[in-house]
Structure 1
Amino acid sequence: MATFIAGDLQGCLKPLKCVLKQANFNDQHDRLWLVGDIVNRGPRSLKALRFVYERRDHVQVVLGNHDLHLLAVAHGVRKPSKGDTIDEILKAKDCDTLLGWLIQQPLMYTQSQVTMVHAGIAPNWSLEQAQGYANEVQAMLRSSKAPLFFESMYGNEPDYFDESQTGVIRLRSITNVFTRMRFCTASGRLDLTSKGPSPSASELPNPLTQTPEPVDAWFNHPHQIPENHRIVFGHWAALEGRCAAPHALALDTGCVWGGSLTLYELEQDRFFRCPCKNGKPLV
Structure 2
Amino acid sequence: MAIYFVGDIQGCYSELKALLKQVNFSAKHDQLWVAGDMVARGPDSYKTMKYLMSLGDSVKAVLGNHDLHLLAIHAGIKKAKKSDHLDTLLSAPDVKEIINWIAQQPLLRKLPGEDVYMSHAGLPPQWTIPQAIAAAKVAEKNIQSAEREKWLSRMYGEKPNDWQKAETKTEKFRYTINGLTRMRYCYLNGKLDFHCKTAPEDAAKNLKPWFLLTKNQLKKSHWIFGHWAALMGKINVKGLYALDTGCVWGGHLTLLRWHDKALFIEGSHKKLAIKQ
| d(CA) in 1 for partners of 2:208, 2:245 | 20
Match of 2:135 among 122, 129, 133: 133
The residue aligned with 2:76 is 76
The residue aligned with 1:267 is 259
| d(CA) in 2 for partners of 1:23, 1:67 | 26
CA RMSD of aligned residues (A): 1.6
1:57 corresponds to 2:83: no
1:14 corresponds to 2:14: yes
| d(CA) in 2 for partners of 1:18, 1:12 | 10
Q: CA deviation at 1:123?
A: 1.8
Q: CA deviation at 1:162?
A: 2.3
- Give yes or no for contact 2:126–2:163 (8 Å, CA) kept in 1: no
**Aligned pairs (5 A) from 1:170-181:** 170-181=172-183
| d(CA) in 2 for partners of 1:271, 1:118 | 19
SS of 1:274's equivalent in the other structure is strand
The alignment's TM-score, normalised by the length of structure 2, stands at 0.93
- Give yes or no for contact 2:163–2:172 (8 Å, CA) kept in 1: yes
Residue type matched to 2:11 in 1? G
Match of 1:113 among 101, 115, 119: 115
- Give yes or no for contact 1:37–1:63 (8 Å, CA) kept in 2: yes
| d(CA) in 2 for partners of 1:167, 1:30 | 38
Q: CA deviation at 1:69?
A: 0.3
The residue aligned with 1:33 is 33
Distance 1:114 1:160, change over 3 A: same
Residue type matched to 1:256 in 2? V
Q: CA deviation at 1:229?
A: 1.1
Distance 1:219 1:24, change over 3 A: same
The residue aligned with 1:202 is 205
Q: CA deviation at 1:79?
A: 1.0
Q: CA deviation at 1:185?
A: 3.0
In proportion to residue count, which structure has more helix? 2
The residue aligned with 1:252 is 244
SS of 2:84's equivalent in the other structure is coil
What is the aligned length?
Answer: 269
The alignment's TM-score, normalised by the length of structure 1, stands at 0.91
Residue type matched to 1:236 in 2? W
1:182 corresponds to 2:202: no
Q: CA deviation at 1:233?
A: 0.1
Residue type matched to 1:91 in 2? S
| d(CA) in 2 for partners of 1:74, 1:6 | 25
The residue aligned with 2:23 is 23
SS of 2:220's equivalent in the other structure is coil
1:173-223 residue CA offsets vs partner (Å, 9 max, x unmatched):
1110000000003542111001111365422xxxxxxxxxxx210011243
- Give yes or no for contact 1:123–1:224 (8 Å, CA) kept in 2: no
SS of 1:191's equivalent in the other structure is coil
SS of 1:162's equivalent in the other structure is helix
Q: CA deviation at 1:80?
A: 1.0
List runs of 5+ in structure 1 lacking aligned partners.
Answer: 204-214
| d(CA) in 2 for partners of 1:77, 1:97 | 19
| d(CA) in 2 for partners of 1:193, 1:161 | 18
Q: Which shows bigger deviation, 192-201 or 57-66?
A: 192-201
The residue aligned with 1:233 is 225
Q: CA deviation at 1:132?
A: 0.3
Q: CA deviation at 1:143?
A: 1.0
Residue type matched to 1:152 in 2? R
SS of 2:163's equivalent in the other structure is coil
Q: CA deviation at 1:279?
A: 7.7
The residue aligned with 1:156 is 158
Q: Which shows bigger deviation, 173-182 or 21-30?
A: 21-30
List runs of 5+ in structure 2 lacking aligned partners.
Answer: none
- Give yes or no for contact 1:42–1:278 (8 Å, CA) kept in 2: no
The residue aligned with 1:193 is 195
- Give yes or no for contact 1:127–1:224 (8 Å, CA) kept in 2: no
Q: CA deviation at 1:226?
A: 4.7
